[in-house]
Structure 1
Amino acid sequence: MTGLLISVRSPWEAQLALGGGADLVDIKEPARGALGAADPTVWSAVLAAVAGRVPTSVALGEIRAACEPQDPRKLAGFQYAKLGLAGCRSWADWPQRWAERLLVLPAGVTPVAVIYADWRDAESPRPDDILRRAAEAHCGVALFDTFCKTRGNLLHHLEPPELARLTSAARDAGLRVVFGGGLGPETIGQVLSLNPDYVAVRGAACRTDRTGDVDAGLVRGLRQLISKSSCSGRPA
């Protein structure tokens, strides 16, 4: 069954996400971008709130803008970590730089390959190129996301046949698959036929927009939508 990933920015939001049935809690600061890194104090507070009840992931920002590698000890409690490639398309050696930056992750933290559907706007490497290089960076997951949150969702940038092709390529590379990128109740139903491992949500789980507060009732509705679709064997 497809799991529900909810991105949170505080321990209070983590509790709301868990109360609504989230299967994975992701930590990021949405005001800082698609993969905005929250402060390490937030990481530790959220990890304490989750207390191992579900897996956790952390956004580390974009490699081009990222500061010095994080202290591995601060990342040890996570199962997954994301470091984006926006702004790196012109770097001939982006695969090497990416792999080197991910080496800081401690054992047990799986790197996530972030594929931006709007890769041209993000000035990110092409999706196929990232998938081909994911193994070299020891990635175990492919996250299909959007860089700009005001110019359309995942399916606005990737037609369903192209998303299906890339999903197949990711699985051929041995990667688990996560769909994000501004998905809501209507679009989640459209992507579930591809059987992603997780659907990643922020905005549709918030009372206003992605910078608002997580609402446990909205999370619960998304969890029910996914469960209903999985039980029926077809998209909701």
Structure 2
Amino acid sequence: MLVSVRSVDEALFAARGGADFIDLKEPNEGALGGLPVATIGAIVAALRAHGIGLPVSATIGDLPMNDLGGILAQVEVVGACGVDYVKVGIERGPGALAVLDALAASNWPVVPVFIADHGLDAVLTAHACTLGFPGLMVDTADKQAGSLFDAVSMAELRAFLAQVRAAGPMAGVAGALRVAHVPLLQSLAPDFAGFRSAVCVADRKTALCPERLAALAALLHGEAVERVAA
């Protein structure tokens, strides 16, 4: 259970509420909106100061594939904040292969996130599987257009996960995931599934909700719950 947070308070709340993986992003800035570097560093420091050793990832922001220099520069500054993984959105189309090659040569543990609003590019993901990344992930950009399951078929997702597993990296999924999607997630059994909307008071830009977070954590971890808010 990966939970996306944007502040020290949210990070501590998510860690204590059942999250297995803390992801740092700013939902007001897009699907992979980046937080200020100072905020990323402060969150990492606070988690470690409280004895929380959960893995932490951070996004670099929504940067286009034709801005390779900007992407690599942002990877450097985010990686230097002490996160365990740096997440970089990968859009299908010209430039994506070159970006993947450059990220693989980075000094930081990068997790490419394939933006799949229009499906997955099997050639692109197959290439990424050869580059030694610690993890690969699929997500959506337009959270208002539906969930990952509206954008990508179960067959495509199974193929992606099988491809990644065969290569060795972790495999993750995200994209406006809700409680109703848990059975589908359990069927796919990714290494991790990312949530924000499902554990907020209202939409993904609002505050985290204690009841929703606890209920989702219990459901994903196989614990008994009386009711889970949708």
Sort the TM-score into its range (normalised by shorter chain).
0.7 to 0.9
Match of 1:214 in 2: 208
Note the C-alpha offset of 1:12. Answer: 0.7
Q: 1:85 to 1:74 in 2, by over 3 A?
A: closer
What whole-Å deviation, never above 9, does each CA across 1:210-233 have from its counterpart, x for those lacking one?
A: 111112322111110111279xxx
Counting aligned pairs with the same residue, the percent is 28
Match of 1:234 in 2: none
Alpha-carbon separation, structure 1, partners of 2:176 and 2:78: 29
Match of 2:165 in 1: 171
Contact 1:99 1:136 in 2 (8 A): no
Equivalenced residues, count: 216
Alpha-carbon separation, structure 2, partners of 1:32 and 1:102: 26
Higher-RCO chain (CA-CA 8 Å, sequence separation at least 6): 1
159-168 or 22-31: bigger deviation: 159-168
Alpha-carbon separation, structure 2, partners of 1:193 and 1:135: 22
Q: What are the residue-to-residue correspondences of 1:79-228 with 2, within 5 Å?
A: 79-86=84-91, 89-91=93-95, 94-101=96-103, 103-106=105-108, 109=109, 111-119=110-118, 126-228=120-222
Contact 2:3 2:23 in 1 (8 A): yes
Amino acid corresponding to residue 31 of structure 2 in structure 1: A
Amino acid corresponding to residue 90 of structure 2 in structure 1: L
SS of residue matched to 2:211: helix
Alpha-carbon separation, structure 1, partners of 2:140 and 2:14: 22
Note the C-alpha offset of 1:58. Answer: 0.7
Structure 1 unaligned residues grouped into runs of 5+: 121-125, 231-236
Note the C-alpha offset of 1:72. Answer: 3.5
Contact 2:129 2:164 in 1 (8 A): no
173-182 or 17-26: bigger deviation: 173-182
**2:49 equivalent to 1:43:** no
Alpha-carbon separation, structure 2, partners of 1:199 and 1:207: 19
Match of 1:123 in 2: none
Note the C-alpha offset of 1:116. Answer: 2.3
Amino acid corresponding to residue 64 of structure 1 in structure 2: P
Alpha-carbon separation, structure 2, partners of 1:150 and 1:73: 30
Amino acid corresponding to residue 19 of structure 1 in structure 2: R
Q: TM-score under structure 1 normalisation?
A: 0.82
SS of residue matched to 1:177: strand
Alpha-carbon separation, structure 1, partners of 2:132 and 2:118: 21
